Amino acid sequence: MNSLGRVTVKRIDNNLVQKEIYSDTDLGQSIDFDDDSYQKLSKHHDFLIKLKQIDQISNSHIIFITEYVDGVTLHNYYSNNQISYNEKLSHFNQILHWSAIMFNFSKNNQQMGKLWRPDSNQSLVYSHDDMHFENILITKNGKLKLIDPDAFRWASLSGFYINMIRGLHDGIRQIYPEF
């Protein structure tokens, strides 16, 4: 999304969350969310939050309804708890594994990416372009869940690497604070 004016997130019942995006400009073609790819990927991988509904109200207003996950952001979890090195390493490895899952999904679904980027003559990767500890929840039973599904995009391979590095940066700093 570009030029976001306001984003509100609220729990609308015991099982659902609503994310409402209002843009300062006409989003038009920049609403770049491939629901089919997200549904296909999330169907087989429970680290992704389930997307229930998308409503495009206008060219500058869109609503995403997702499942509610009882947990805290990984950022808050790390800030408020003593986390062992092994637990941090486990989280880091899970997040790295997510990138491998996205890459493999993309390899097997290039035709879906070409629908979203028909002008691209390179391989595309379906990935989360805002992966950081504020967009990862940890549940009471210790499972990690990646939220903010509207941040998924078909990106170039270099874009995927940039997003992956950005996403792993928080984890590396937590495990090795001296870096």
* Structure confidence at residue 136 (pLDDT): 95
| pTM of the predicted model as reported, rounded to 2 decimal places | 0.87
For domain 71-175, give the fold: Transferase(Phosphotransferase); domain 1 (1.10.510)
- For the chain, the residue count is 179
- As its CATH architecture, domain 4-67 has 2-Layer Sandwich (3.30)
pLDDT 10s digits, 62-84 = 899 999 999 999 999 998 889 99
| pLDDT digits 0-9 by tens, 139-171 | 999 999 999 999 998 988 888 888 888 877 777
pLDDT (tens digit per residue) in 6-39? 899 999 999 999 999 888 776 654 467 899 999 9
pLDDT single digits (tens) 134-143? 999 999 999 9
The pLDDT score that the predictor gives to residue 1 is 40
The CA–CA distances, whole Å, from 171 to 55, 81, 88, 136, 138 equal: 34, 15, 7, 11, 14
pLDDT in the model for residue 17:
96
User: Domain residue spans in the chain?
Assistant: 4-67, 71-175
Exposure of 70 by Cβ count < 10 A (0-12 exposed, 13-18 middle, 19+ buried)? Answer: exposed
Better-scored residue on pLDDT, 10 or 177: 10
Lowest-confidence region among 21-35, 104-118, 125-139:
21-35
Q: Is 177 left (phi over 0), alpha (psi -120 to 50) or beta?
A: alpha
